[in-house]
Amino acid sequence: MAIQDLDNYKTIFAERLMEQLDGRSISAFSKTLGIPEHTLNAWTRKATTPRMEYLILLAKELRCSIDYLVGLED
Q: Which domains does the chain have, with CATH numbers?
A: 3-69 (1.10.260.40)
Q: What pLDDT is stored for residue 38 in this prediction?
A: 97
Nearest to 74 by CA among 22, 15, 26: 15
Residues 6+ apart with CB under 8 A from 65: 59, 73
74 pLDDT band, cuts 50/70/90, is confident
This prediction's pTM: 0.87
**pLDDT at residue 1 in the model:** 56
CB 67 within 8 A of CB 73: yes
